[in-house]
Amino acid sequence: EVQLQESGPGLVKPSQSLSLTCSVTGYSITSNYWGWIRKFPGNKMEWMGYISYSGSTSYNPSLKSRISITRDTSKNQFFLQLNSVTTEDTATYYCARSGGFRGALDYWGQGVMVTVSS
Amino acid sequence: DVVLTQTPPTLSATIGQSVSISCRSSQSLLHSNGNTYLHWLLQRPGQSPQLLIYLVSRLESGVPNRFSGSGSGTDFTLKISGVEAEDLGVYYCVQGTHAPNTFGAGTKLELK
């Protein structure tokens, strides 16, 4: 069974970097696409970016140069780094797998809530 | 970015009632390869989102067949034929045709 698990700090100070890890079991990240999505207070969802089976990346332009997604295939993990965070980055962050059709996210982690506050 | 407009924002239903959620796109979601990358998710309270339907109308494995999707171009609909208690939560449409992927604002289904 495919399982994803996010981990990382739940509190980040403004202007610092947010770093999260997604650990995947039951499936290799060298197949498919793997993404980060966040849900803001309320219901708004935002696709942040993904890393492909080959290691190529694609990011939401709204995050400009603040975002980086990398991976460690030996540990079957991929990572999110978001720089220069503000209170507007407070959200629940999810990692997910794209099941073969663009945008169709078929496996999700449980999510990690990150608060940006001093 | 493509804007997906979901209506209604909130839906009150009784058990057994059939309901529909609309998702309208600011651009056609028909890709040049012939696929329409419009999908539906459900997020139950306290849970992660779950894929219900992909490519407009294909039911994800394990999803009850009371869920169905339809539509084309810019207008799409999710129908639940006989709401059950486990269907409560927030429904999202999401598109993958145009980068970046975008989500609708969500429709909250609650019990009347």
Q: Which amino acid is at B2?
A: V
Chain B residues within 8 A of A110 when measuring between CB atoms: 48
DSSP code, position A93? E
Distance CA B74, CA B89 (A): 24
Average pLDDT for residues B22-42, to the nearest whole number?
98
Q: What confidence score (pLDDT) does residue B79 get? A: 98
CA angle (B76 as vertex; B74, B79 as ends), nearest 5: 175
B99 contacts A101? CB cut-off 8 A? no
B101 contacts A102? CB cut-off 8 A? yes
- When mean pLDDT is compared across A94-103, B54-63, B80-89, the lowest value belongs to A94-103
How high is the mean pLDDT of chain A? 96
Q: Are A84 and A67 in contact (CB under 8 A)?
A: no
| pLDDT beyond 80 at A64 | no
Chain A residues within 8 A of B37 when measuring between CB atoms: 101-104
Residue in this structure with the two tokens 């779950």, named with its chain if needed: B50
Query: E strands within chain B?
Result: 4-7, 10-13, 19-25, 38-43, 49-54, 58-59, 67-72, 75-80, 89-95, 102-103, 107-111
Average pLDDT for residues A45-54, to the nearest whole number?
97
Token output for A34: 């793997």
Diameter over CA atoms, chain B: 42
How high is the mean pLDDT of chain B? 97
Q: What confidence score (pLDDT) does residue A112 get? A: 98
Closest chain A residue to B105 measured between Cα atoms? A44
Of B94, B90, B93, whose CA–CA distance to B109 is shortest?
B90
Distance CA A13, CA A17 (A): 8
Per DSSP bridges, beta strands B19-25 and A45-51 are unpaired
Average pLDDT for residues B32-51, to the nearest whole number?
97
Distance CA A2, CA A19 (A): 23
**What percentage of chain B has pLDDT greater than the value 70?**
100
Chain B residues within 8 A of A96 when measuring between CB atoms: 49
Q: Which amino acid is at B6?
A: Q
Closest chain A residue to B10 measured between Cα atoms? A43
B103 contacts A102? CB cut-off 8 A? no
Q: Which residues of B37-71 are buried (b: 16+ CB within 10 A; e: fewer)?
A: bbbbbbbeeeebbbbbbbbbbeebeeeeeebbbeb
Probe site for chain B from A102, A107, A110, A112 (most B CB atoms < 10 A): A102
Task: Measure B18 CA to nearest chain A CA, in Å.
Answer: 23
- pLDDT tens, B59-68? 999 999 999 9
Task: Measure A106 CA to nearest chain B CA, in Å.
Answer: 5
- pLDDT tens, B82-99? 999 999 999 999 999 999
Q: What confidence score (pLDDT) does residue A99 get? A: 84
Radius of gyration of chain A (CA): 13
Other residues' Cβ atoms within 10 Å of the Cβ of residue A72: 12
| pLDDT beyond 90 at B18 | yes
Q: What confidence score (pLDDT) does residue A100 get? A: 84
A110 contacts B99? CB cut-off 8 A? no
Q: How confident is the model at residue B46 (pLDDT cuts 50, 70, 90)?
A: very high
Distance CA A15, CA A84 (A): 4
Closest chain B residue to A35 measured between Cα atoms? B101
Considering only CB atoms, B39 lies closest to which of A61, A103, A111, namely A103
Average pLDDT for residues A64-81, to the nearest whole number?
96
Average pLDDT for residues A70-85, to the nearest whole number?
98
